[in-house]
Amino acid sequence: MKFEFRTIEKTRLDILLKEKGSKFIGYAFPVNDEKELKAALESIWEQHPKATHHCYAFRMGLNGENYRANDDGEPSGSAGLPIYNQLLANDITNVLLVVVRYYGGTKLGVSGLVKTYKESAKITLEEAQIVLRELESEITLQFPFTQQNIIFTFLNKFDAKILDFQAEKPL
């Protein structure tokens, strides 16, 4: 079983690429669930309500089994797929990669769009620091107060993070 995965350390914003008058603005977000994914997409739509296209791709899950590519009105396969392929090329998961396009008046053609969306996604990921993360699980433990030292020593041995500790007074 796999216990680690590659992802990005933190959000990268406003990575600009210009091509024949059009502006392509890249964003990369670390995401762990649908809620974070939707919040990130909504923030992009709020920041760029007048953009021509909000194309994106994401991969989530230990093996990237949950994924999607969205062309947002661009010709089929010309935007979302090149963005998604950059996630695959970097072997990263739990990442949302968005490229916002402001149309500049010159048509790029399908091959031009593929090339530019790919390049925008690539430079956005180059700006994001890719890190190796270990699989984490949140658990709740209940134990007698007299066992506290043993439990804490054990947790420390495995670099466990204690998120909350509620001690009850011994009788």
Task: Render each residue's pLDDT in the chain as its tens digit; 171 residues.
Answer: 568 899 999 999 999 999 999 999 999 999 999 999 999 999 999 999 999 999 999 999 988 999 999 999 999 999 999 999 999 999 999 999 999 999 999 999 999 999 999 999 999 999 999 999 887 778 888 888 888 888 888 888 877 888 788 877 665
Distance CA 10, CA 139 (A): 25
Helix or strand (DSSP H, E) at 157: helix 148-157
